[in-house]
Amino acid sequence: MNYLLDTNVFIILIEESFDRLSQTQREVISNSESIFWLSESSLYEIAIKVRLEKSDFSHINISTIEDDRQRLNIRLLKPKVVHYLNIPEVPKVYLSPSKLHADPFDLLIISQALIEDLPILSTDRYFPDYEGLRVIT
Question: What pLDDT, on a 0 to 100 scale, did the predictor assign at position 53?
Answer: 87
Task: Please indicate, yes or no, whether the overall pTM of this predicted structure exceeds 0.85.
Answer: yes
Q: Give per-residue pLDDT as tens, 19-48.
A: 999 999 999 999 999 999 999 999 999 999
Q: Provide the strand spans (E) within 1-137.
A: 2-5, 35-39, 75-77, 94-96, 99-100, 120-121, 135-136
Q: Give per-residue pLDDT as tens, 57-66.
A: 878 888 899 9
Q: Does residue 54 have a pLDDT over 90?
A: no
Q: Give per-residue pLDDT as tens, 80-134.
A: 999 999 999 999 999 999 999 999 999 999 999 999 999 999 999 999 999 999 9
Report the amino acid identity of residue 104. Answer: P
For the chain, domains (ranges, CATH) are 2-136 (3.40.50.1010)
